[in-house]
Amino acid sequence: MERWKGRVALVTGASVGIGAAVARALVQQGMRVVGCARNVDKIELAAECQSAGYSGTLIPYKCDLSNEEEILSMFSAIKTLHKGVDVCINNAGLAHNEPLLSGKTEGWRNMIDVNVLALSICTREAYKSMKERNVDDGHIININSMGGHRMVPSADEHFYCATKYAVTALTEGIRQELREANTHIRATCISPGIVETEFAFRHHNSDPEKAAAVYESMKCLKAEDIASAVTFVLSAPPHVQIGDVQMRPVEQVS
């Protein structure tokens, strides 16, 4: 990770869970991390990282990823204040209980806006930033899900899984386009199974007992496990392309 010290990483959805753990890990490694979230008041890591004496810095940034104009404004601000993005961690994602046969279009659209379109827009803008500055060793890391590789047998999850299947396809498409562009910028997909965060409680917001049961059924992955996977991917030698990291709890069946 030595070569990443002082360089700029964007982490979306950085206020809680996996995003917060990734942001903390990168600051600890000496990176300048722009952590974006809809509510920057929840990004409490900046003071924590400073008091811990980490060599990097965390810069909270308010951004609604369902709004393209806000995303473009964020990249413009990063360019002005920090020159640009060297590493883009597309972590933000959400799920709604909207089955395919009875779900509301609004919920489907929100999942597409955040899980697919925002990821694609951030990737495009990060690549532009790298090319403008002749950065040829940048990295785009998409935090995916095991739901992007197999369909969960639960109607509440089907549309969400479809958006994550899109992330799997998009990551491979990005990798191919980067090769066509004759660049050494890399693209990686990290696909966790069940991770103990606030995710299930947001997904099952009307049934907290159901959410709690998800995490009580096994020893789940921790957000820090995913952060460790991110640093592993970033620390790989520049000639090594890690395409997809699939990880799940030992006790998880599917």
Q: Are 233 and 141 in contact (CB under 8 A)?
A: yes
CB count in 10 Å sphere of residue 200: 21
Give the span between the Cα atoms of 199 and 211, in whole angstroms.
9
- DSSP-assigned beta bridge partners for residue 142: 90, 189
Give the span between the Cα atoms of 249 and 194, in whole angstroms.
7
Give the span between the Cα atoms of 37 and 145, in whole angstroms.
20
Q: Are 150 and 193 in contact (CB under 8 A)?
A: no
- Dihedral of CA 153/94/92/169: which sign? positive
Q: Give me the catalytic one of 54, 127, 160, 165.
A: 160
215 is catalytic: no
Structure tokens at 101: 């046969």
Q: Are 14 and 23 in contact (CB under 8 A)?
A: yes
Q: Are 9 and 33 in contact (CB under 8 A)?
A: yes
CB count in 10 Å sphere of residue 196: 18
Scanning the structure block, which residue is given the tokens 């890399």? 186
Q: Are 68 and 45 in contact (CB under 8 A)?
A: no
Task: Give the residue numbers marked as catalytic.
Answer: 160
